[in-house]
Amino acid sequence: MYFTKFISRPLPAHLFFLASWFLGNTFLGMAQPAEIEWLPVIKTAKDQHTLALLNAGPGGFQLLRWQDRRTDAAGNTTPAMPLLTALTPGGEKLRDEPLPGFADGISFFRFALANDSVLFVAYEAPGDGGQTLYVRRLNLGSRNWSAEPVAVFTEPANKAPAFGTAWFSHSADGSHCCIYRSRRLAAGKMLVSVVVFDASFRLVWKREAELPAQSGPLALQSVLCTNSGSVVLHTRVFGAGAIPPAALFEEPPTAYKPDGRAMYNRYRAATDVPAHADALFLLLKEVAETAAFYPKIGKKFTPSVEMAEGAGGQVLCAGFSSDESNSKIEGYFVYTIDLNTRQGQILQNAALPAALRKVFLSEKAAAKKEPVEGLALRGLQWAGDGKPWLLAERENFTQNPNRIDEVALLRLDSTYRITAARKIEKFQNLPAGDAQNFASLAACAAPKGAWWLLWNQGSWPDTKLMLTECRPSGNPVDHQLALASRTNVALLPQTLLRQNDTWYFVGESEYHERIRIGRLKVKM
């Protein structure tokens, strides 16, 4: 199976981790669905951060890391730069060196993707007539660049960084990825540039498209690159004369999944958002026209929306909705686009079911059908049996900034109704926002139609690495895998990487002075 990874220079993270011990391949508990093993601890500099695990297996490990700018006691300055770190198959360090070509530091390193043999880097640099976003392909075996840089986008204005909205999306099967950027032209108009690459990061097609004019301002929310190489854009459309808070909606989020989607968008805490509708746009390689879709939800607010691709060229778009405010959730919807026929339809649009309200509200409030404050949709994913799940979290940013109160998994039936809401009891009161913290989680498809959620629970000194098994029937089952006080590190969810029946990931300590590789092996 083909796997890819994502890397971005992260914003500062807040961690709480903790002392050293080696845990063998046993769980703390009974009837565990997998085995865990930590490889030896590696000492690192405190001003270095792990961005991604590039490859793993019998040949060893390669990590992409980031070196912050630093000045020593003698006044010598080391610039900020990306690093390549190689480890032996046993998890011991072989070498640690700057990414080739970046040894002098680069202020505008943007992001990178990788497969087992190639690192695909996007960065800004001065170009003809302004600032340009370039991409390059690095052979991870030889550590040599495979070709000259390719210009993706050019910004005439000589400003830095020039590409605040330039980002990427990766298809679910790893066969395609796209880099995109957006630019507002005028009220109701937006220009989107898209460049699509194949699994080897070679150019397939590119386009600059002016989206169909709308009644008011647009804000690009997310982009989905499909398995066929098509691109679906999700935008919010505000009313005529509305002034959307651009900084809240278009700043890159602070933590990312391997497909480029945000783990946590802090703008969802904003309540002073004008009423809005949703618009979806489909860009295809072989069709010049941009197809537009307008889900008619009948609500003033859809504060959180997720897109994912299922089997047979079907894209699902699910979200929470409200007529009261951007933070008080009353209903949910599921919309689909058939990529083959280019037709869209609403599959479900309903009030929150009692099962969901009871997870997050008191029995009295649930009976009165009160809205759920701070509920956010965090994930849409298919299990092995072909049925979708939703991951929902309840935020409490007003009373407890950057905290997640509760989380539940929502099961959809064949009519896309929410038929069950399964609360994960221990996933509570956790900080949110950054890649390296306890609320960030890694989700992966598990055997027999289940989900696995790998996450960090608690705070210093009692942090635990947890695996929640979410089966097709019954309640989620929590398994404690390790104590951070014994392993000295905690999970970095964005590093999760699968090879055959083993999942690999990187653990890092609170102050970044230690890292180690973790192995999660499925029990057969």
Domain ranges of the chain: 170-177+186-251+265-294, 297-430
Q: Could you tell me the pLDDT band of residue 195, with boundaries at 50, 70 and 90?
A: very high
What does the pLDDT read at residue 28?
38
What share of the chain has pLDDT > 90, as a percent? 35
Contact 316, 380 (CB under 8 A): yes
Tokens of 182: 């957006």
Mean pLDDT of 373-391: 83
What does the pLDDT read at residue 288?
87
Nearest CA-CA partner of 221 in 190, 243, 175, 242: 190
Cβ-count burial 297-334 (b if 16+ within 10 Å, e if not): bebbbbbbbbbbbbeeeebbbbbbbbeebbbbbbbbbb
Mean pLDDT of 428-444: 53
Q: How far is CA 307 from the centre of its chain?
A: 12
Q: Is the pLDDT of residue 452 over 80?
A: yes
The domain at 297-430 falls in which architecture? Beta Barrel (2.40)
The pLDDT tens digits of the residues spanning 218-274 come to: 888 889 999 999 999 999 999 887 776 654 333 444 456 666 766 555 444 456 788
Q: Is the pLDDT of residue 413 over 50?
A: yes
Nearest CA-CA partner of 178 in 199, 196, 192, 155: 196
The pLDDT tens digits of the residues spanning 134-167 come to: 999 999 888 899 888 999 998 876 666 677 778 8
Contact 295, 43 (CB under 8 A): no
Cα distance between residue 393 and residue 379, in whole Å: 10
Q: Is the pLDDT of residue 498 over 80?
A: yes
**What is the 3-state secondary structure of 88-155?**
CCCCCEEEEEECCCCCCCCCCEEEEEECCCEEEEEEEEEECCEEEEEEEEEECCCCEECCCCEEEEEE
Question: How many C-beta atoms surround the C-beta of residue 122 within 10 A?
Answer: 22
What share of the chain has pLDDT > 70, as a percent? 81
The pLDDT tens digits of the residues spanning 23-39 come to: 233 333 347 787 889 99
The pLDDT tens digits of the residues spanning 454-494 come to: 887 766 556 788 888 887 777 788 888 888 778 888 888 88
Mean pLDDT of 312-340: 93
Mean pLDDT of 498-519: 87
